[in-house]
Structure 1
């Protein structure tokens, strides 16, 4: 029993190893460049044509905006291009003076192509900001809603559900090193049940809260060691089992990643059952 008591320290050294490299989940940006231009479009009210005939003409507005396209009853209707003095433009479909249907908006490094209604993105659309960011998916009143894909400047990507512009629901997040998470999201964070696999072979399957391991889960290191039990914000807390690759194990209580409380350490040649405080054996039963 003396040998068994003295050698448990080498097992505690294993627990100091960080579970896996830290991975960061990119936030979904708020995309609003087009609203600066499309939020207050000029009108054709100063012209007197009131019939239903579709006309095509070019008009210049006082604020250095030019429209070239079809119009009916003093309103932009059909295909047309609206250009601003700084080079920004929208090209596509119009209805009753509003952007409605398929169209393309370009301003500096922003390119948007997709379906519009009431001057807002509605339906399927692609929003690209140079090589820094790209979204492909569905919109509702200028907000990402439903299934979509996001591509980020660090070559990570997200494929899954959105709600009110943020990742929410079931999705997949892939990092540039090949690490991958599949599971539930809420407010742009890993929330709920999910499985996270690192490129080095380590994995975690269980509950998440705001990108932390939180609740019941199982973590396995790439060398075969495994923990099954409760987490509190990434730390082993509460009851859990820790298995070494040679099938030796500890089962019992934890606090802040250390054995704390009643526990049993099972080795190949003996068993230690006792009380632990901050990872140190205090009393043997």
Structure 2
């Protein structure tokens, strides 16, 4: 051990400024108070790691910069040798974290920028993405905003794809799971239950051509009994556009009210003041996406009047009409 650079010694205790070299090769140069590293200084270890900044009682404490031999560098707050408070960590591969730390771990709010362009900004707990945040994919630009747990999308959240598709609902370990609504870029929409990233359980699906399927699903495929509503339209008013009609499936069957109230709301643009939509109602039965039975039940007509103070809907059973459009594609081909 060597005490150098003219450091003062009072009653055998190092005090003031000086350089100290340990027998293992560790070197400290800086301020001392009552025999301990305190104030500003630089410590270099035999491994090549070094810290420069504020000390207190032999601890890194206050503002400081730690550089590791592997290329990592941390600039920020310290408390008793642990990264604690605000700080920026840069890795040799180009990854960067800017945010809050506690006990040496990312904790609190912060932004992580991966070298490949991926970005997460939000809450952290014990070094992991946990709480509320937003993550943007580098390669695709897809975005998720919502709840996280243990680095997974977990809880309630919204995933937006660059093609315009969007999912709003529950997640479990990065998979759509539980209750959720999906709208695809082609205009199709689904509101209902999910499991392991697939439609699973009861759900209401509206296809791009306006057809509506109400029933159960298994691993993303129709499974069990369901009802399909094949659309055709009668219009009075300024325009005729089935694409811009507005409906609520709850009109057709009160049992489906919860799922349908948010699913079948479309833009008012191009919709006539008064229009009616008729449906051919077909009962179907599937086994993992394969149709094994179908039976036509009835015809329903839904009338919508936009001129009233609030949009009003009514439904009635109508006679079979030769004007019903033929459903030209199967459920598979719609997707």
Say whether 1:70 aligns with 2:8. Answer: yes
Match of 1:56 in 2: none
In the alignment, which of 166, 187, 192 is matched to residue 226 of structure 1? Answer: 166
Q: 1:284 aligns with which of 189, 208, 226?
A: 226
Q: Is the aligned partner of 1:188 residue 2:127?
A: yes
Would you say 1:260 and 2:208 are equivalent positions?
Answer: no
Determine if the alignment matches structure 1 residue 88 to structure 2 residue 26: yes
Pick from 86, 105, 121: which aligns with 2:43?
105
With normalisation by structure 2, the TM-score equals 0.64
Alignment pair present for 1:242 and 2:182: yes
Larger radius of gyration: 2
Alignment-derived partner of residue 150 in structure 1 = 89
Give the equivalent residue in structure 1 for 2:216: 275
Q: How far apart are the structure 2 equivalents of 1:255 and 1:120?
A: 50
Post-superposition shift, 1:83?
1.2
Write out per-residue CA displacement over residues 178-218 of structure 1, whole angstroms, 9 at most, x where no aligned residue.
Answer: 11111000010000000001112111000000001111001
Give the Cα separation in 1 of the matches to 2:29 and 2:81: 18
Report the equivalent of 2:267: none
- Counterpart Cα distance in 2 of 1:268 and 1:168: 45
Answering whether residue 158 of structure 2 is matched by residue 211 of structure 1, we say: no
Tell me what 1:176 maps to: 115
Are 1:119 and 2:58 an aligned pair?
yes
CA deviation map 1:260-285 (0-9, x unaligned): 11111112321111111222212222
Distance 1:86 1:238 in 2: 58
Once superposed, what is the RMSD of the aligned Cα atoms? 1.3
Residue in structure 1 matched with residue 260 of structure 2 by the alignment = none
Higher relative contact order (CA 8 A, sep 6+): 1
Q: Could you tell me which runs of 5 or more consecutive residues in structure 2 were left unpaired when the two chains were aligned.
A: 228-335
Partner secondary structure for residue 93 of structure 2: coil
Taking the aligned partners of 1:239 and 1:141, their CA distance within structure 2 comes to: 46
CA distance in 2, matches of 1:79, 1:89: 14
More deviation in 264-273 or 194-203?
Answer: 264-273
Equivalent residues in 2 for 1:22-41, closer than 5 Å:
none
Q: How many angstroms does 1:224 deviate by?
A: 2.1
5+ unaligned residues in a row in structure 1: which ranges? Answer: 1-64
- Between the aligned partners of 1:164 and 1:196, the Cα distance in structure 2 is 25
CA drift of 1:105 comes to 0.2
In the TM superposition, residue 85 of structure 1 has moved relative to its aligned partner by 4.0
CA distance in 2, matches of 1:134, 1:185: 20
User: Which residue in the other structure is 2:99 paired with?
Assistant: 160
* Residue number among 141, 144, 147 corresponding to 1:201 in the alignment: 141
SS in 2 for 1:201: coil
Which residue does 1:133 correspond to in 2?
72
Q: Distance in 2 between matches of 1:86 and 1:146?
A: 31
Partner Cα separation in structure 2 for residue 196 and residue 117 of structure 1: 38
Q: CA deviation at 1:131?
A: 4.6
TM-score (norm 1): 0.75
- Distance, in Å, in 2 between the alignment partners of 1:117 and 1:191 is 32
